Amino acid sequence: MSKLYIPNSVALRNFDALFKGNDFLFNNGKVEINFHPNYVALHPVGLAFYAALSDLLRIKGCKFKGKINYSMRSIPYLQRMGLFKALGFRNPVKTEEHEETGRFIPLTKISNSQQLDVFIKNIDPILHTNRENSFAIKHVFSEILRNVIEHSRAEFGGNVCATYNRKKKKISIGISDAGIGLFNSLIVNHKVTDDQDAIVKALTPGISGATSRLGGNAENAGAGLFFTKCIAASTRNHFLIFSGNSYFKLKITPKNKVIAFNPNPMDDYCSFRKSLPYFNGTLVGIDINIEDNKAFNNLIDNIGQAYTQGVKRSQKTYYKKINFS
Amino acid sequence: MYIKMCDICGNFAENKDEAKKIREDYIKIAINNNEKVILDFDNIDSSTQSFIHALISEVCQNGGEKVLKIMEFKNCNKAIRSLITTVVNYSLE
């Protein structure tokens, strides 16, 4: 029987905890899921990851059972975030139902454009944000979830969840799928050597899985992940992407370092790991705290300039020729 | 041709399928007929780079700089202006 161990804590800063004692192979049809006996603290990136693993186990037709210490203090949080339901278990304890509003988005399945539309429309009432201050949040959700819908070929769609820390004004997001992964998505139109190379290409502005052309095609610019990474960088937050056997993590830029929007992710203040236990899918985790739309507008300008520099041969600008009225 | 974007996209324009439909059913036809096309972004709070790309990048690439004289972007806030400028800049060589 294969084993899956859910550790004491999985967050963007200590993401490597995910791999402790795990190989994610699940080749013999039966999986035993064990939780850390005392406390399990999961950032949405961790919750989204286990939801994708659950999809993978369903695809493989695995039977799984879990061992939970009922005195584990984090059960109510994990239950509200929908982890046990996503893993196919009944909720282990009876908890008072709290209104989701203003605090969190539990694990939610997004499989098509219509579901994404509904999800985006409901963000403001759930997170207590409003139309005036949630541009960045909606931008991130839309860009990443559209990638899942369009490129992942995931049988069960994408998984998304988020928590909002009102005190720090920070939203933490996890998005995952058990699809074909970045390597298999990009290899169709690009020369890709391994999972790490696929991540580099996916983060490079202008490279899209939909076409071999730099700059994309009519529907894909190859910019969604680049913009998302830059949004995290702009507020000195983490951004992580894990696919196949590799992950890229944008580290928190120290305050004495200038924030840069690098077209080449290898130039970022980051950590890259390869030869990890293989994950059949794609996982994205990000923290953002942009509630100031003026800052977001300037940010879009700056990211746009960085994107253009990365993609375009000529640096000519057309701003004055665009007919705004 | 006048297109009231929020009637199609709501106040956060992110659905690329809708962008593609506007591009194919309205913008391209107007450009082919050398007819002015007004994209009115009134009541749209924001959008995504992907949406604006799907909306206008191809027509800029195919039509070149002259399509900027045919397309008019009305009532754009700062975010939308930034996104349109970004997409136009990288789409036109």
pLDDT of residue A313: 64
Asked if B14 reaches chain A (Cβ–Cβ under 8 Å), the answer is yes
Q: What is the CATH number of domain A98-320?
A: 3.30.565.10
Read off the pTM: 0.93
The whole-angstrom distance between B3's CA and the closest CA on chain A is 14
A 40-59 → B contacts, CB under 8 A: none
pLDDT of residue A50: 97
A248-276 average pLDDT score: 93
Inter-chain CB pairs, A–B, below 8 Å: 135
> How does the average pLDDT of chain A come out, rounded?
89
Quick check: A102 pLDDT over 70? no
One-letter amino acid for residue B49 of the chain: Q
pLDDT of residue A72: 86
Q: Three-state DSSP class for B58?
A: helix
Residue A201 and residue A190: Cα distance in Å, rounded?
A: 9
Contacts of A68 (CB under 8 A, 6+ apart): A35, A75, A92
* Residues A234, A240 contacting (CB under 8 angstroms): no
Tell me the H-state helices in A67-134. 75-80, 83-86, 113-127
User: In this structure, what are the phi and psi dihedrals at residue A259, rounded to the nearest 5 degrees?
Assistant: -75, 130
Q: Which residues of B touch A133 (CB under 8 A)?
A: none
Quick check: A177 pLDDT over 80? yes
Q: What angle, rounded to 10 degrees, do the helices at A293-311 and B78-91 form?
A: 0
Torsion region of B44: left, alpha or beta (phi above 0 gives left; psi -120 to 50 gives alpha): beta
Residue A104 and residue A141: Cα distance in Å, rounded?
A: 14
Which of A207, A300, A319 best probes binding to B when mutated, by most B CB atoms within 10 angstroms?
A300
Reading chain B (93 residues) residue by residue, the pLDDT tens digits are 999 999 999 999 999 999 999 999 999 999 999 999 999 999 999 999 999 999 999 999 999 999 999 999 999 998 899 899 989 988 887
Quick check: A97 pLDDT over 70? no
The whole-angstrom distance between A116's CA and the closest CA on chain B is 9
Residue B25 and residue B19: Cα distance in Å, rounded?
A: 10
% of chain A with per-residue pLDDT over 70: 95
Residue A284 and residue A224: Cα distance in Å, rounded?
A: 12
Sheet with A2-6, side-by-side order of all strands: A2-6, A30-35, A63-67
Q: What is the largest CA-CA distance in chain A?
A: 66
CB atoms near residue A41 (< 10 Å) = 17
The whole-angstrom distance between B86's CA and the closest CA on chain A is 5
A 264-323 → B contacts, CB under 8 A: 293-294, 296-297, 300-301, 303-305, 307-308, 311-314, 316-319, 321-323
A 198-227 → B contacts, CB under 8 A: 206, 215-221, 223-224, 227
Q: Which two tokens mark A33?
A: 């899921």
Q: Do B83 and A293 touch (CB under 8 A)?
A: no
Q: Could you read off the pLDDT of A162-176 as tens digits, one per residue?
A: 998 888 888 999 999
Q: What is the largest CA-CA distance in chain B?
A: 32
Q: Could you read off the pLDDT of A178-212 as tens digits, one per residue?
A: 999 999 999 999 999 999 999 999 999 989 888 88
* Residue A148: exposure state from Cβ atoms within 10 A (0-12, 13-18, ≥19): buried
A264-279 average pLDDT score: 95
pLDDT of residue B30: 93
A136-146 average pLDDT score: 93
Q: Where are the domains of chain A?
A: 98-320
Q: Do A304 and B73 touch (CB under 8 A)?
A: no
B 62-91 → A contacts, CB under 8 A: 65, 68-69, 71-79, 81-91
The whole-angstrom distance between B24's CA and the closest CA on chain A is 11
Q: Do B86 and A138 touch (CB under 8 A)?
A: no
A13-18 average pLDDT score: 96
CB atoms near residue A164 (< 10 Å) = 20
Q: Please give the residue of chain A at the shortest CA–CA distance from B59.
A: A218
Quick check: A15 pLDDT over 80? yes
User: Of the candidates B48, B74, B83, which has its C-beta nearest A143's C-beta?
Assistant: B48
Quick check: A95 pLDDT over 70? no
Q: Three-state DSSP class for A284?
A: strand
The whole-angstrom distance between B64's CA and the closest CA on chain A is 11
